[in-house]
Amino acid sequence: MAIPWFIERQLAFYRRLIDALSDPARRNRVMLALALAYAICWTLYATIAKSSQGMNADMAEMVVWGGHFEWGYPKHPPFLPWVIGAWFAVMPRADWAFYLLSGLNLGAGLYVSFLLAGEWLEGEKRAIAPFLLALIPFYNFLGLKLDQNSGMIVFWALTIWAFMRSLDTRKASYAAIAGLAAAATVLTKYWGAFLVLALILAALYDRRRSLYFRSAAPWVSALIGGIIVAPHVVWLIQNDFPPTKWVATRRMAATLTEALGSLPEYTFGTLGYAAAALIVVAIFARPTIAASRDSLLPREPERRTAAIIFWVPLLVPYAFAFVSYTNLLSLWNTASLALLPVILLASPLVVMRREGAPWIAATAATITIAPLLVAPLIAYATVKTGVENYAAYARPAAARIESEWKVTTAAPLKILAGPFALADTAAFYLSERVETWADYSSYLSPRINERVIARDGMAIICPADDPGCLGVIDAEMKKGAMGRRTEVEIVPRWFGFAGTPNKFIIATIAPHS
């Protein structure tokens, strides 16, 4: 069947793009431009589509954490809050700025994964690797939530690339990068420890292991990584391991049966996220059963190294769940699919037809560009249907909190208390950085105590129908400090469209010591 002329013109463009990405003289600068365009597209999408809702609470929480340097934080290791804190030290605290950081993370992830793919792929196979990753939700819609899972994307791939370079060349420079990137991965999320294990096993199994371990390379990586991670380990010991306790309260199963019950979601969820990439390779490469077997369990030493690095972080967590009674979650594999294009394409038995590569690129580009066209409709639907955790109310709530605070006292507002999601999201929109007393928990907010509250005062926001939260307001107001309690009705608005009204109680308590 003849292809319509307008589609053929588009395919011609993608053929030229594939050719450029296959050309050693041009591919790096073309990939860099492509990664930047990708980052811009998803930044624009997020800025428009999410403009009728507030910032995600987990992202806003890291802005609060990033306002002060610590070697660890209540729920997670410290690297991502450091990055976010540094970002907002120079950027305005605005939704678009956060989505720009998210978009740049995704673009950088594609670029580093393109470098990584070059360790095993060449020509058109390497050229389509970033397009395959762009089909995975971790690298677009889900990755726009810059959290500990998506925060590993760049450093996970960078660690593998630098490790492979150091394994091949034994150069100290690559070994140092591998150590730095591995430390950044682990200090973003402890899940990165599975990658470190995979690299150790890959090095021990690789035919170059004798040359590698007789060189300085592995010891440079271990020394640099260890030095960087050590202060966090000391912090963990001194503070009785807060992040691991948090995981224990949220993801630990009561019985082995319950833990094993999470494995289907972990397994089929991960497959589901990778499904689009698997399908397009099946359509345009049509691998045989023998080719598929050789892809998944390669015999060639070089590809076997890639397979070990790919499979160990995916499979070892099964044993970890069995031993520790942990409920696994497929989202934790966000960074683990960086090598998927290599696994799917590196076998010489997999032949990528020349006409297939432009179609794969066009499919990824469509998934990237098409959401921009419907982003305003998504924003409209959100303001009408609402969003979880009162996120749509956080921005106007912040304005009301500040106006109530100014009536109460001339002192600067330093503490905002309330339910975690509401307080942290509203804090993102305040004029000045504040600490949050999230869920009134000393665990979530270890810097807040009675002495600090007495010294600085605080504002509290509660949904009007939350009796537990309102009880805290009553208790704080009874302490005799000067303050106000006001009921407000907030209506989310977006370009003249109104959402569902909701009532909140705002209490402001002036400093009294």
Q: Give one DSSP letter per residue of 218-280, joined into a string.
A: HHHHHHHHHHHHHHHHHHHHHTT-HHHHHHHHHHB-SSHHHHHTTHHHHHHHHHHHHHHHHHH
- The C-alpha atoms of residue 322 and residue 309 are separated, in whole angstroms, by 21
pLDDT number for residue 9: 84
Locate all alpha helices (DSSP H) within 457-502, ordered by sequence.
467-477
Dig out the tokens for 251 from the structure: 């993801």
Cβ atoms within 10 Å, residue 483: 21
Dig out the tokens for 493 from the structure: 């608005």
Dig out the tokens for 132 from the structure: 């395959």
pLDDT number for residue 343: 97
pLDDT number for residue 352: 84
If you average pLDDT over residues 486-502, what whole number do you get? Answer: 95
At 152, the pLDDT band (50, 70, 90 cuts) reads very high
Sign of the alpha-carbon dihedral angle for 247, 251, 253, 257? negative
**What is the average pLDDT score of the chain?**
95
pLDDT number for residue 483: 84
* Burial classification of residue 94, based on how many CB atoms lie within 10 Å of its CB (0-12 exposed, 13-18 middle, 19 or more buried): middle
Q: pTM of this prediction? A: 0.96
Residue at 410: amino acid letter: A
User: H/E element holding 379?
Assistant: helix 356-385
In this predicted model, what pLDDT tens digit does every residue of 110-124 receive, in sequence order? 999 999 999 999 999
In this predicted model, what pLDDT tens digit does every residue of 168-189 receive, in sequence order? 999 999 999 999 999 999 999 9
* Burial classification of residue 255, based on how many CB atoms lie within 10 Å of its CB (0-12 exposed, 13-18 middle, 19 or more buried): exposed
pLDDT number for residue 455: 93
pLDDT number for residue 513: 62
At 1, the pLDDT band (50, 70, 90 cuts) reads low
131, 17 contact by CB (below 8 A): no
pLDDT number for residue 330: 97
In this predicted model, what pLDDT tens digit does every residue of 35-61 receive, in sequence order? 999 999 999 999 999 999 999 999 999
Dig out the tokens for 422 from the structure: 């509401």
pLDDT number for residue 70: 96
Residue at 252: amino acid letter: M
- The C-alpha atoms of residue 305 and residue 291 are separated, in whole angstroms, by 18
Q: Is the pLDDT of residue 65 over 60?
A: yes
pLDDT number for residue 488: 97
Backbone phi, then psi, for 23, in 5-degree steps? -90, 115
Instruction: Compute the half-sphere exposure of residue 505: CA atoms within 13 Å on the CB side of its CA.
Output: 20
Q: Is the pLDDT of residue 5 over 70?
A: no
At 4, the pLDDT band (50, 70, 90 cuts) reads confident
In this predicted model, what pLDDT tens digit does every residue of 186-196 receive, in sequence order? 999 999 999 99
In this predicted model, what pLDDT tens digit does every residue of 281-298 receive, in sequence order? 999 999 999 999 999 999
Sign of the alpha-carbon dihedral angle for 30, 36, 40, 41? positive
183, 176 contact by CB (below 8 A): no
In this predicted model, what pLDDT tens digit does every residue of 228-245 receive, in sequence order? 999 999 999 999 999 999
pLDDT number for residue 85: 97
Dig out the tokens for 346 from the structure: 């590196």
pLDDT number for residue 2: 60
Closest CA to 133 of 257, 267, 38, 20: 38
Backbone phi, then psi, for 203, in 5-degree steps? -65, -40
395, 51 contact by CB (below 8 A): no
In this predicted model, what pLDDT tens digit does every residue of 471-483 receive, in sequence order? 999 999 888 777 8
- The C-alpha atoms of residue 37 and residue 432 are separated, in whole angstroms, by 32
Note the Cα 159 to chain centre separation in Å.
17
Q: What percent of the chain is modeled with pLDDT above 70?
A: 99
pLDDT number for residue 247: 87
Closest CA to 152 of 130, 174, 178, 181: 181
If you average pLDDT over residues 311-337, what whole number do you get? Answer: 96
Residue at 28: amino acid letter: N
In this predicted model, what pLDDT tens digit does every residue of 388-397 receive, in sequence order? 889 999 999 9
From residue 214, how far is each of 174, 209, 210, 490 by CA, in Å? 16, 8, 6, 67
Cβ atoms within 10 Å, residue 249: 9
